[in-house]
Chain A
Amino acid sequence: MSEQAQQSQAQPASNGGGALLEAANISKVFGGLVAVNDVSFTVPERGIVSLIGPNGAGKTTFFNCMTGLYKPSTGRVYFNGRDITAKRPDLVTKAGVARTFQNIKLFRTMTAIENVQVGMHGTLRSRVTGMVLRTPFNRREEKSAYAKARELLNFVGLKRHNELAMNLPYGDQRRLEIARALGSEPKLLLLDEPTAGMNPQESDELRRLMETLRSERGVSVLLIEHDMRVVMGVSDYITVLDHGEKIAEGSPQEVRANPRVIEAYLGSQA
Chain B
Amino acid sequence: MSTAAATLRTSATNARRMLPDWVWGAIFVALAILYPYIIQGLPISNPDDLLDASIYTLGLIIMALGLNIVVGFAGLLDLGYVAFYAIGAFVIGWLGSQQFPDVAGGKGIHILTPVKSAFGSDVPGIHVNFFFVIFIAAVFTALWGVILGAPTLRLRGDYLAIVTLAFGEIVPRIFENSTSGIFGIGSTDFSNGRQGITPIDKINFPWTDTTFRYPLELKPVYWVGLGMVLFVIFLNRRLRDSRLGRAWIAVREDEVAAAAMGVNLVRTKLWAYALGAALGGFAGVFLGTYTNTVNVDQFEFGFSVFILSMVIIGGMGNIWGVILGAVALSMINRYVLKELNSVPDTFGLDFDVTSISFGLYGFFMLVMMVLRPEGLLPSSRRKLELHGEVDESDHIGAESDHELYEVRQQG
Contacts and interface: CB of A to CB of B under 8 A. Distances in A.
Nearest to B254: A105
Interface in A86-139: 86, 88-90, 93-94, 98-99, 101, 103, 105-110, 114, 117-119, 121-124, 126, 128, 131-134, 138
A90 B406 contact: no
Contacts of A89: 256, 259-260, 407
A207 interface: no
Given A121-B243, A131-B238, A132-B235, A107 B249 contact: yes
Nearest to B379: A109
Nearest to A69: B405
B16 interface: no
Contact of B262 (A103, A121, A128): A121
A180 B243 CA distance: 15
Contacts of A117: 243, 246
B74 to A, nearest CB: 13
Contact of B246 (A90, A94, A121, A123): A121
B264 interface: yes
Interface stretch (B61-69, B155-163, B325-333, B382-390): B382-390
Given A103-B397, A166-B384, A166-B390, A128 B260 contact: no
Nearest to A133: B238
Contact of B239 (A90, A121, A132): A132
A93 B261 contact: yes
Given A90-B259, A132-B235, A124 B243 contact: yes
* Residue with the greatest number of chain B CB neighbours at <10 A, chosen from A68, A98, A109, A133: A109
Nearest to B384: A109
B257 A105 contact: yes
B50 to A, nearest CB: 33
B271 A128 contact: yes
Contact of A94 (B245, B256, B262, B384): B262
A239 interface: no
A164 interface: yes
Interface residues of A, number: 45
Contact of A119 (B262, B265, B271, B406): B262
Nearest to A93: B262
B259 A118 contact: no
Contacts of B389: 166-167
A131 B246 CA distance: 12
A123 B261 CA distance: 10
Contacts of B261: 90, 93, 98, 118-119, 121-122, 180-181, 183-184
A110 B250 contact: yes
A78 interface: no
A131 B253 contact: no
B398 interface: yes
A67 interface: yes
A122 B265 CA distance: 12
Contacts of A142: 242-243
Given A69-B260, A90-B263, A132-B235, A118 B405 contact: no
A231 to B, nearest CB: 23
B247 interface: yes
Contact of B260 (A99, A131, A132): A99
B17 interface: no
Contacts of A71: 406, 408
A124 B244 CA distance: 10
B263 A118 contact: yes
Given A119-B261, A121-B262, 12 more contacts: A68-B259, A71-B408, A88-B264, A98-B260, A107-B258, A109-B249, A109-B385, A114-B246, A126-B242, A131-B245, A166-B389, A167-B388
20 contacts: A68-B259, A70-B406, A71-B406, A88-B409, A88-B411, A93-B262, A101-B257, A103-B397, A103-B401, A114-B246, A118-B250, A121-B243, A121-B262, A122-B261, A131-B244, A131-B245, A133-B238, A134-B238, A138-B242, A184-B261
Interface of B: 235, 238-239, 242-247, 249-250, 253-254, 256-265, 271, 381-382, 384-385, 388-390, 397-398, 401, 405-409, 411
